[in-house]
Amino acid sequence: MRAVFLDRDGVLNQAVVREQRPYPPDKLEDLTLFPDAAEALARLKNAGFLLLVVTNQPDVARGTQSRAVVEAMNRSLAKQLPLDGFLVCWHDDDACCTCRKPKPGLLVEASARHAIDLGASFLIGDRWRDIDAGAAAGCRTVLIDRGYRERGPAAEPDFRTISLSSAVDWILQAH
């Protein structure tokens, strides 16, 4: 089975950007899909890819967001997009878990659960943590460069772009 792993905030829905740094939306009403998301994911689905969201949500551990709101956002995305599932890391960095990107734990868990061939799969993300997690899992990676003020990935992405649609174009040509 081939999959495309997708980060949530900044890939499927717009991140809240403050001082050139991305943050997840605070409430369900602030969740705004990128206009090209549904069509782009439909093309991946039609090509036979399993579509899984892999997302860090450390604000739950930090006490600044509720798990219920994050799960409501995920349900909303699942209703609007052809997604096959969500894998969420609820921890902050100091938890030293294996699931928080840039570690590949969420992708490895998905691979075991769905018999995914990680080497034939892709990860699309908008931050260094996403790209490094995908590379560590053995996936090909696509960075959607949103111009954030943060360090770049340690692993060079296989492709850089500015939109989900062009990321999907590349994946459909590369596979």
Q: Can you give the pLDDT of all 175 residues of the chain as single tens digits?
A: 999 999 999 999 999 999 999 999 999 999 999 999 999 999 999 999 999 999 999 999 999 999 999 999 999 999 999 999 999 999 998 999 999 999 999 999 999 999 999 999 999 999 999 999 999 999 999 999 999 999 999 999 999 999 999 999 999 999 7
Cβ atoms of residues 137 and 87 within 8 Å: no
Helix (H, G, I), strand (E, B) or coil at 133: helix
Looking at 7, 59, 130, 132, which residue is catalytic? 7
**Residue spans per domain, the chain:** 3-174
Structure confidence at residue 175 (pLDDT) = 77
Structure confidence at residue 37 (pLDDT) = 98
Structure confidence at residue 113 (pLDDT) = 96
Burial zone of 132 (CB within 10 Å; 0-12 exposed, 13-18 middle, 19+ buried): buried
Q: What is the DSSP letter of 147?
A: -
Is 7 an active-site residue? yes
Cα–Cα distances (Å) from 49 to 5, 122, 126, 161, in that order, read: 10, 10, 20, 20
DSSP percent split of the chain into helix, strand, coil, nearest 5: 40, 20, 40
Looking at 9, 59, 126, 158, which residue is catalytic? 9
Cβ atoms of residues 60 and 15 within 8 Å: no
How far is residue 146's CA from residue 144's CA, in Å, rounded to a whole number?
Answer: 6
Helix (H, G, I), strand (E, B) or coil at 87: strand
User: Cα-flanking dihedrals φ and ψ of residue 157, to 5°?
Assistant: -65, 155
Is 9 an active-site residue? yes
| CATH homologous superfamily for the domain 3-174 | HAD superfamily/HAD-like (3.40.50.1000)
Structure confidence at residue 62 (pLDDT) = 94
